[in-house]
Amino acid sequence: MRGLLDILMPPVALDGGAHPLATGLSDQAWSRIHFLEDPVCDGCGLAFEHAPGRLGLDRCPACLAQPHLFSRARAACVYDEHSRDLILAFKHADRLEHAPLFTHWLSRAAAPLIETVDAIVPVPLHWSRLIRRRANQAAELARPLARLSARAYLADALIRTRPTPTQGGKSARGRRQNVRGVFAVPPEGARDIRGRRILLVDDVLTTGATADGCTRVLLDAGARAVDVAVIARVRSRA
């Protein structure tokens, strides 16, 4: 039946390229995506510039010097000119058909984290922005990822208490200030958080300010630890 359906309605490449063998990216787009493979920094998901060496360090110099509040992070690919348009279309242009592809990428990249977590939580949107976007892209990843991995999905365990300007174009310090005091765990959410290791899901990890802001309130609510999984990682956290 799947073969017959593909004949009648050929799969469409999400990037607008030649027809793929199945719904996803064209061969040309696949070859340009810079997927992140081990070894990567356990603390932020960046690829090591050099092999960890005999010391066997699992953290990059930046994470050793200034650790994040979250314990571990994984990203499926590098955020660059080849992945950016796909992610921005998913985030801002209602291209929710990208979600299954990105969820598959996440399930692979974050497999070492998923094995040890108890529940999955999306980075929340404020209700006013949710109305404009019509969907929370983090939730569109976290929900199917929880289903695939047989983990609890906590949709409302974390909330955003007020709208904030976009993080785009801000320095690391500006990003931290922008999300300071923005996230909260409601009383009913705390019951589901307490004592559990949480996987926090978002689209892109840049400086880690948003992820750290979410982690802080999750830990304060009693989470045992917080890990982070994203579609893409910016090359530098500066």
Question: What pLDDT is recorded for position 8?
Answer: 44
Q: What is the pTM for the complete model shown?
A: 0.85
Pair type for strands 183-184 and 197-205: unpaired
Per-residue pLDDT of the chain (238 residues; tens, 9 = 90+): 555 444 444 455 555 555 544 456 777 777 889 999 888 999 999 988 766 644 567 898 889 999 999 999 999 999 999 899 889 888 876 778 889 999 999 999 999 999 999 999 999 988 777 777 778 999 999 999 999 999 999 999 999 988 776 666 666 776 777 678 889 999 988 999 999 999 999 999 999 999 999 999 999 999 999 999 999 999 875 5
pLDDT (0 to 100) of residue 168? 65
The one-letter amino acid code at 37 reads E
Q: What is the per-residue pLDDT for 90?
A: 86
pLDDT computed for residue 21 by the predictor: 45
